[in-house]
Amino acid sequence: MRYAMVIDTLKCVGCSDCVVACQTENNVPIGYCRDWVVEAVNGTYPQLELEIRTERCNHCENSPCVRCCPTGASHIVEGGVVLVTHDECIGCGACIESCPYDARYQHPEGYVDKCTFCLHRVKDGLLPACVSVCPTRCMYFGDLEDPNSEVSKLLKKRDYKTLAPEAGTNPHIFYLI
Amino acid sequence: MKEELFVSGRNLPNIDPQLHVWHWPIPVYLFLGGLSAGILFFAALYVIKNKGKDLPDSYKKALFVPPVALVLGLIALLFDLTHLFYSWRLFTTIRLESPMSWGAWTLLTITPLAFLWAASNIKLLFPQWDWKYDWIKAIFKFWNENLKYIVWLVILLSVILGIYTGILLSAFNARPLWNTSILGPLFLSSALSGGAAVLIFFSNNEEEKKIFVKLSMLLIVIEGFLFTHMFMGFLASNQVQLEAAEMFLGGDYTIHFWIFDVIVGLIIPLVLELIWLRKQNFSLKIVALLLLFGGIMMRFTMVHAGQAARYLY
């Protein structure tokens, strides 16, 4: 089992529904977010290219946050999901410093928080909150090790990229381009 | 052009628009930890080299610094732990991959040793001092009898502590300025330089001063050499590290780095030490203070600039 998310940048319109759904589902405090939307403009006028994509923790296979955590609060569970055990986290901030995606933040209660791939929903057979609400259906979630899963098929069929592959983290969020 | 904007209103505290999760306590803690490591290293080295001969007074005085510095450093660190009441979790696990775990365990071991070593010389400060209980006297009897063995442990731990203060930063490949293995030896040599500065400060013996002045000059040259290598490495590396070096070569941190870390912290003390070696007509205390000032400023610059250096994607 290896959970992954595939996001179609050609379909994403940047509506931020995924952000609001996550905040509601996970009781994310006001002013904080576990996912966000980026608008990337590339090129020289008039040949400009716009890419809209939603970002979150990449649940990296080689996760620097897990490596540097002094207490083991950051750890990898079933399906390769990176989680933080709140009452083991001392709030030292090492994982925040180590993340090339700046995907973690200090929760007002002190511990470090981030995207969990909505594992509590996934265990019940539901999709992560962000995926389930996407109005353009640009987000897909599934098992990368199952060749018949939607995510595996999409990655076979389409061109894709990951963010900062040069960081050597082997991220598990894939962007269709 | 390449421009990336958050359009969902992301503005995470201490992260956006620029990472600043580690505030002033971290450089202070790194400095005080390194300083303690430097002093303990030289004191242990003296005992090893002189086969258990009693330490000179300057060393004994300097040995009162590490317990105070380590406690102050740890108190500073507590200010930056946002989930403070769970900090005991550091000591329920050993994580070999995590430099911070190494640091926590090293500090847990070296702090009591620093306290015991300072307390064993308490009569230097309070000649009338008398330990009231026999079991305390037994501890110090054991300490003094076995010091020649204990110092090997102290020297090992002090080197780990000195290197750790740099490795802590260099372990993060997400921050290009820190992501260089030069930081380990750089912070270690700065730690030893701090230790030498404290010994220069407390020393009343001209011969001893001369030894530490020469040693301190050597350490300054080594630091200069390591800084040069750091820049050479960055300038021959990828875009993110080029930009990291740029922060000190014309960018936002240029003045901090060159004025406080290099000129005030390294070059002026080096020149003053050279002059002092020729004619000893001024107090070396100012040199020692400049060295310590340079040490703390170097850590402030590296910690702050390192967080400003971003990974590109």
A35 contacts in B (CB within 8 Å)? Answer: 8
Residue A102, pLDDT > 90, answer yes
Q: Do B84 and A87 make contact, defined as CB atoms within 8 angstroms?
A: no
Q: Is A46 in the B-facing interface, judged by CB distances under 8 Å?
A: no
Look up the CATH number of the domain holding residue A51.
3.30.70.20
Using pLDDT thresholds of 50, 70 and 90, give the confidence band for residue B285. very high
Cβ contact B171:B192 at 8 Å? no
Q: Give pLDDT, residue B4.
A: 85
A130 contacts in B (CB within 8 Å)? Answer: none
Residue B247, pLDDT > 70, answer yes
Q: Is B96 in the A-facing interface, judged by CB distances under 8 Å?
A: no
Using pLDDT thresholds of 50, 70 and 90, give the confidence band for residue B222. very high
Using pLDDT thresholds of 50, 70 and 90, give the confidence band for residue B94. very high
Which tens digit of pLDDT belongs to each residue from B10-52?
A: 889 999 889 999 999 999 999 999 999 999 999 999 999 998 6
According to DSSP H, which parts of chain A are helical? 17-25, 64-68, 94-98, 119-123, 129-133, 150-157
Using pLDDT thresholds of 50, 70 and 90, give the confidence band for residue A80. very high
Which tens digit of pLDDT belongs to each residue from B174-205?
A: 999 999 999 999 999 999 999 999 999 999 99
Q: Do A111 and B83 make contact, defined as CB atoms within 8 angstroms?
A: yes
Using pLDDT thresholds of 50, 70 and 90, give the confidence band for residue A31. very high
Q: Which candidate from B81, B93, B104 shows the least CB-CB separation from A72?
A: B93
The distance of A137 to chain B (nearest Cα, Å) reads: 18
Which tens digit of pLDDT belongs to each residue from B56-82?
A: 999 999 999 999 999 999 999 888 899
Q: How many domains does chain A have?
A: 1
A98 contacts in B (CB within 8 Å)? Answer: 171-174
Q: Which candidate from B2, B11, B86 shows the least CB-CB separation from A88?
A: B86
Which tens digit of pLDDT belongs to each residue from A5-22?
A: 999 999 999 999 999 999
Q: Model ipTM? A: 0.91
> Mean of the per-residue pLDDT values for chain A?
95
Using pLDDT thresholds of 50, 70 and 90, give the confidence band for residue B313. low
Q: Do B98 and A69 make contact, defined as CB atoms within 8 angstroms?
A: yes
Residue A97, pLDDT > 70, answer yes
* Residue B79: other Cβ atoms inside 10 A: 14
Q: Give pLDDT, residue B169.
A: 95
DSSP label of A128: P
Domain boundaries, chain B: 25-308
Its domain, for residue A142, covers: 3-176
> Mean of the per-residue pLDDT values for chain B?
93
Q: Give pLDDT, residue B234.
A: 95
A100 contacts in B (CB within 8 Å)? Answer: 173-174, 311, 313
Q: Give pLDDT, residue B253.
A: 95
B15 contacts in A (CB within 8 Å)? Answer: 96, 102, 105
Residue B98, pLDDT > 80, answer yes
Q: Give pLDDT, residue B312.
A: 64
- Torsion, Cα A176 B17 A93 A64, to 10 degrees, reads 30
Q: Is B53 in the A-facing interface, judged by CB distances under 8 Å?
A: no
CATH 2.40.10.120 correct for B25-308 = no
Predicted structure pTM score = 0.93
Q: Name residues 86-125 of chain A within 8 A of B (Cβ).
A: 86-94, 96-102, 105-106, 109-112
A42 contacts in B (CB within 8 Å)? Answer: 1-2
